[in-house]
Structure 1
Amino acid sequence: MKKITNAFRLTLSLILIAVVFSGCLIREVEQPATVKTGGEFQVKLTITDKTADANAHYGAVCVLAPDDWEFVSGSYDSQVGTGIFLFDSSAKPVYGNIDSVLAPPAGMKWIKLLSDAAFTNPADVIHEATINLKVGQKTGDYNIGYFTTKNSADLLGSLNMSDEDNDNAWSDTSMNHKVTVELAVGVEDEKVVPTKFSLDQNYPNPFNPETTIRYSLPVSGYTTLKVYDILGKEIAVLVNGSKQAGQHSVQFSANNLQLTSGIYFYELRVGDSSASDKSEFSEFKETKKMILTK
């Protein structure tokens, strides 16, 4: 059976469907039950790729969402590679026309995404995918669904639309995940102290020349946020000092830095603010990738 988990009690709500790596089965969906208008929704998918593939393919993710929702960011992680999802504006992707096979209901739209890199893989690879969406202003109940495959020649012909797993399918669905969009009534909801450390994917991404990086601290601590090039050279220091518990954001600008198009990394480190050695950063450390396009 496919498992549904209401793990993320964020203040948002939505409808979506995802397409991520073909010959795949959607094993688990973690999503909020309720979200607020104008907020940000996050869902995590666990996907098993049952079939070994010696040819490198991109992963594809389609999100069926209310027509006033927008893609914010996405990332994936597995034993074969990590990276981000990019918005796919093509009318008909290589894997097929999702709009004709699974036509969106009235008031909904497909948001199509592709991984930023292609990978080969052995059998039974597990992928963890995270998708973030900006919630619109429509309120009500919506059913979320997910669809997963690779960006390879029309794999929609072998689509599993059953609620049960089918190991022979090359693409899979997981449908009818209900969420409720409620009206946001004030800004106090945004001041809740986070329960865990987190570093969000920058937005927009790819970017030119500016992008915003958000991070969350459940406790106060000495914090650094630095940007590096692909060789590990430090490019910029965005944060360097004590920060209070809460949600924070900082803007990175490539202006006046003479940077070329390509991949860059940003790293968040948090240490105990009472420690004498601020270089230990024992609390939290995470690095993410971003892409500058000119």
Structure 2
Amino acid sequence: MKACFAIFLLLTLCFSNLLFAQPLNNSFENWNTLDPVDWLSSDELYGGTFDGIIQSSDAHEGSFSARLEVIDIGGGLGSMPYLWSIDDAGSLHPVTQKYGSLKGWYKFSPQGNDILYVGVVMFDSDSSAIGAGVFIQSNQVTSWTEFEAPIYYNPGSPNPIQVLINIYIADSTGQINVGTFALIDQLSFSGPSSVEQISGLPMDFNLSQNYPNPFNPTTNIEYSIPEASFVQLKVYDILGNEVATLVNEEQSAGNYKADFSGNNLASGLYIAKLQTGNYSKTIKMSLLK
């Protein structure tokens, strides 16, 4: 019954209005027969036919973690293991503010081209998606490692009240491979969304050098806009590939500070670019791990 209601819930986005700070059962310490308490799994959707979500004693924190494993369902075909942040009453997990990112700890042992996917979507009181983030890993990770999925919000959106966290194993080319597994533990939200306004009104547009620089893994980027403008602040690698969008919205005149995390990036030189109207400026930032 819970599985059927949960599917209907996902299709209609009719969510309740509870308020808490972190994902429920965020370290997967408590378990029902088929899945973690306050989480919905592919095991329950299939009535326990495919046991791809397992309580594991290999934990980063506490006694247990969640193990997602691709198992053989016949003829060498693998089942796709899923975890959704849907509680035992069929509701999405509650949140209280615009968190900056979803963090957690993981191990990953892929076969073939399999990938680990952790997605997060924030919903407001109207059941509208207002923010999202994603973490994707395709490489083998044998020791407990922290991941981070930065969450980006629609400009001018209200605070969210619920979150859908979606954790699964997929394959970048099609069929997933039997034997791939991941361990997930200790999920948490970071602090509020990472752009804040500083007191005072500036006379000119400006993008200041980040501090600290070099940095590991976070740094502050301050900028000023003397009039209301649509502002974009993005970060690129040295090849010009965009790696993060820190700001993409209309902002009032003021001084601002944005936090940038290179937690999931390699050491190297990165470029921050501020674009607003006819004003554009870049700075170079050095990430040293």
Fold similarity call, TM over 0.5: no
Larger radius of gyration: 2
More strand by share: 1
| TM-score, L = length of structure 2 | 0.32
More relative contact order, 1 or 2 (CA 8 Å, 6+ apart):
1
What TM-score, normalized by structure 1, do the two folds share? 0.31
